[in-house]
Amino acid sequence: MSERFTGSFTQQEPIPQAGIDAALRVMQSGRLHRYNVAPDEVGEAALLEQEFAQAMGVDYALAVASGGYALATALRALGIGAGDTVLTNAFTLAPVPGAIASVGAQPHFIEVTDDLTIDLRDLAEQIAATGAGVLMLSHMRGHICDMDRLMRICDAAGVVVIEDCAHTMGATWRGVMSGRHGAMACYSTQTYKHLNAGEGGLITSADPTLMARAILLSGSYMLFDRHKASPPPEYFTKLQPEVPNVSGRMDNLRAAILRPQLAALPAQCAAWTERYRVVEDGLRDTPGLRLIDRPEEESFVGSSIQFQLPGWTPDRIMQVIERTGARGVELKWFGAKEPSGFTSRYDSWRYARPRHLPRTDRVLAGLMDMRLPLTFSLDDCALIARIIRAEVGAVYQPA
């Protein structure tokens, strides 16, 4: 009898008891709004920002309502608006071009490599062709490009980098935390990310002016002194009359849930990557299947895994999806013509008026994607790999 996986690909771990207890205390106080604090009290949102800045090794952090809001706020803090062009990699998810469009700017997509990172040669060419001054770099599905080379290209051209670290919270490049290379970094605490508040986001920066603008944009009113990972007051007073309030604050309830998770982040990241390695080892040398190379310089967080079925026809890929699905393994496919669930691709975002990207089209045509929640055991991961390996083998037809 064929083995079958019976777990859920969308079930996350429960909130830690410490987070539940902290959330109850916030609810019992009634002080959910981040600026509604008792005398001499530091709110949960301010404490989260302080602890997150320390964890990421930066001076400043801001907790906001969502990862997408974080991205749009970073753009606004940089002064990006109507008529501006913002570069971003074509392999990303809808909130990235959505954030660019939300401020009236135009996304301009850059090709992706076979290893799912931004094509640095195309990046250099498109900087010259467009004159764009900002790159919103999506570390999509946790894949980090050569950040040293990328920053050399961008610095030489005067291009400011915003890092989308929704999938790389806790990851590093050559020992430097993801998010530390660009002018600003944005993170998500949506349920399927590395910290789970249901929804939420964080922004970090070492630039006091940019962070003061972001805090004012988020809706601090005159209460910016209640932030504990923020620039000195003089950065706010000169900006306050000029910066609009685009309210998107995180509340104390979500921050209370997140703080214990943040303390456990290093252990959680290691657990995800351990599961990734089990699946990767189980799929290694499967005929017709290509694993994604991970460079030695990259310390990644394996909360999902990607592999390619290069050169496969769409009907055979669908057979693999259906056969693994029948055995309880849910695979997502980035080569589908129509968006499905959370999976979509650059040419389905018609508002972005995307240019033709032949290399990206070839990469995405056979790209498979699978979540690895921590509710999976290592034995679960080994079973999942056996099922994928068997069903790919059943469908594969060598050229």
Q: Is residue 7 assigned to a domain?
A: no
Whether 6 is covered by a domain: the verdict is no
Question: 159 with 269, same domain?
Answer: no
Nearest one of 209, 218, 203, 219 to 239, comparing CA atoms: 209
DSSP code of residue 343 = B
Domain containing residue 238: CATH number: 3.40.640.10
Determine the Cα–Cα distance for residues 32 and 152; give it in Å rounded to an integer: 44
Residues making up the chain, counted from first to last: 399
Residue 12 lies in a domain: no
Q: Domain tally for the chain? A: 2
pLDDT digits (tens, 9 = 90+) for 116-155: 999 999 999 999 999 999 999 999 999 999 999 999 999 9
Asked whether 5 and 328 are in contact (CB, 8 A), the reply is yes
Return phi, psi of residue 78, to 5°: -85, 0
Looking at 234, 263, 292, the residue that finishes a domain is 263
In this prediction, residue 337 carries a pLDDT of 79
- State whether 333 and 237 are in the same domain: no
Residue with tokens 């030489």: 156
Q: Are residues 85 and 43 in the same domain?
A: yes
Same-domain check for residues 113 and 234: yes
For tokens 């790209």, the residue is: 367
pTM of the model: 0.96
- CA–CA dist 104, 173 (Å, integer): 32
The pLDDT, as a whole number, for residue 1 is: 55
Identify the sign of the CA torsion 115, 121, 124, 129: negative
Which residues lie closer than 8 Å to 362 by C-beta, 6 or more apart? Answer: none
280 shares its domain with 185: no
Sort strands 160-164 and 184-188 into parallel, antiparallel or unpaired: parallel
* Positions in the chain whose pLDDT score sits under 70: 1, 341-342
Q: Which of 332, 327, 286 is nearest to 305 (CA)?
A: 332
Of 231, 248, 263, the residue at which a domain comes to its end is 263
Q: Does residue 118 contact residue 150 with C-beta atoms inside 8 Å? A: yes
8-28 in b/e form (b: 16+ CB < 10 A) is ebeeeeebeeebeebbeebee
Q: How far apart are CA 237 and CA 257, in angstroms?
A: 32
Say whether 341 sits in a helix, a strand or coil: coil
Distances (CA, A) of 368 to 38, 44, 344, 363, 385: 50, 39, 12, 10, 13
Residues 135 and 68 in one domain: yes
Position 254 scores a pLDDT of 98
Using only C-alpha atoms, the chain has a radius of gyration, in whole angstroms, of 21
Same domain as 346, residue 316: yes
Same domain, 284 and 234: no
**At a CB cut-off of 8 Å and minimum separation 6, what does 107 contact?**
86, 88, 96, 97, 100, 101, 349, 352, 354
Q: Residue 174 sits in which domain range?
A: 17-263
